[in-house]
């Protein structure tokens, strides 16, 4: 109970000071932190990476169900989904 009171007090204190806050859970514990606007430098390298990612997602969507099932089976025991395996392989291609 005291942990919940501490959490509520921390939230109140930060909001009272004008902070935008985020609460999240990690490994069963609740945390509070300041919200920050993510940095987006829009470098050439970043834009290329995002394009490759976007194209890989389009490729995944165009696979047949049988092809998707093959990736799902390959991913078993790897702690990832078939989609994640496909994306990982595609993003490693040069």
Same domain, 48 and 87: yes
Same domain, 24 and 50: no
Parent domain of 18: 2-34
Domain membership flag for residue 39: no
Same domain, 55 and 28: no
> Distance from first CA to last CA of the chain, Å, rounded?
53
pLDDT interval class at 17 (50, 70, 90): low
How many folded domains does the chain comprise? 2
Q: Percentage of the chain with pLDDT > 70? A: 82
Q: Is 43 left (phi over 0), alpha (psi -120 to 50) or beta?
A: beta
Mean pLDDT of 4-29: 74
Q: Decide if 50 contacts 35 (C-beta within 8 A).
A: no
Q: Please, what's the largest Cα pairwise distance for the chain?
A: 55
Highest mean pLDDT of the ranges 15-19, 28-32, 37-41, 54-58: 54-58
Domain membership flag for residue 48: yes
Tokens 């696979």 appear where?
A: 63
> CA 31 to CA 2: how far, in whole Å?
14
Same domain, 51 and 85: yes
- Of 40-44, 68-72, 83-87, least confident by mean pLDDT is 40-44
Q: Percentage of the chain with pLDDT > 90? A: 53
């Amino acid at each position: 109970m005291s942990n919940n009171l501490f959490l509520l007090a921390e939230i109140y204190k930060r909001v009272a000071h004008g902070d935008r806050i985020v609460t999240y859970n990690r490994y069963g514990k609740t945390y509070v932190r300041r919200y920050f606007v993510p940095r987006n430098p829009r470098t050439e390298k970043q834009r290329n990476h995002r394009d490759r990612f976007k194209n890989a997602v389009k490729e995944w969507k165009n696979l047949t169900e049988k092809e998707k099932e093959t990736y799902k089976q390959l991913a078993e025991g790897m702690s990832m989904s078939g989609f994640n395996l496909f994306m990982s392989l595609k993003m490693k291609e040069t």
